[in-house]
Amino acid sequence: MGGKEADVVYWSTDVLKVPFKIDTTFIRLNIMMWSVMLIIIAVTFYFSRNLKVIPSRRQAVAETFVNFIRGLVDQNMGSQYKQFVPFVGTLALYLGLLNLIGLIGIKPPAANINIALSFGLIAFGVINGYAIKVNGLGHYLKGFAQPVAFIFPLNIVERLTFLLSTSLRLFGNLLAGTILVELIYEALAHLSEATSTAVEFSHVLTFNLFSLVIPIFPHMYFDIFDGLIQTYIVLMLVTINTKIIAEE
């Protein structure tokens, strides 16, 4: 026998007689994230095949994006960190597309604290992992005792604060945008219902005006502008902190 409550599906078998629950939120998030990954793979393959000395329009688009990422890495880290271009570019594509998914009426995955925290963990792992790689574990740990040994715990807290602040910044901004858009839709639905009863024979016109035209502007800001801004902020934090911590 099965049943459903919110985003949790309860199910029990006739054989075991033991009920268990499946969180459908986790399933939906994984489907969306894997779908975006497949889209990125397909788009990358499309734009990277048949490259020529004289670029076509398709190749010019790809080169424009690559040059943007290279410029970002060179500006924030220096030319000696060019090995980070593939990682930063992949992160830009992946997080950017996930944040834009709200345009098709789906809640952005990063508006879930678990997904936002996973991006924070990726950034935290890359930053500290690279610092250990270039400096060695001993020198890395010794850096926590600089400039004086008694602030060792404070430096650890500072490093962990980056993880929390990056995750919560991404999560908070996207969640706030999602909630505001939902409230706008709810308000427009009530407004459409109220005006359609007041104005005779105008239900279809009122519905189209309130529910289709007006939400375009909130979506442009919260899904496109804010989503891309949050992606850019994460890229800036990752590149700048990678350089700073590696050279401490």
HEC string for the chain: CEEEECCEEEECCCCCCCCEEEEHHHHHHHHHHHHHHHHHHHHHHHHHCCCCCCCCHHHHHHHHHHHHHHHHHHHHCCHHHHHHHHHHHHHHHHHHHHHHHHHHCCCCHHHCHHHHHHHHHHHHHHHHHHHHHHHCHHHHHHHHHCCCHHHHHHHHHHHHHHHHHHHHHHHHHHHHHHHHHHHHHHHHHHHHHHHHHHCCCCHHHHHHHHHHHCCHHHHHHHHHHHHHHHHHHHHHHHHHHHHHHHCC
Tell me the range of 59-63, 89-93, 205-209 where mean pLDDT is highest.
89-93
In percent, how much of the chain has pLDDT > 90? 31
pLDDT digit string (tens) for 30-54?
Answer: 888 899 999 999 998 988 888 888 8
Task: Delimit the domains of the chain by residue range.
Answer: 108-246
Global pTM value:
0.79
Residue pair 43/31 in contact (Cβ under 8 Å)? The answer is: no
- Tens of pLDDT, residues 99-146: 988 888 788 888 889 899 999 999 999 999 999 999 898 888 888 877
Q: What pLDDT does residue 4 have?
A: 47
Cα distances from 59 to residues 82, 91, 157, in angstroms, run: 21, 20, 45
Average pLDDT across the chain, whole number = 81
* 218 touches 180 (CB < 8 A): yes
226-246 vs 113-135: helix crossing angle, rounded to 10: 20
Task: Evaluate whether 100 touches 211 at the Cβ level (below 8 Å).
Answer: no
Report the C-alpha gap between 18 and 1 in whole angstroms. Answer: 11
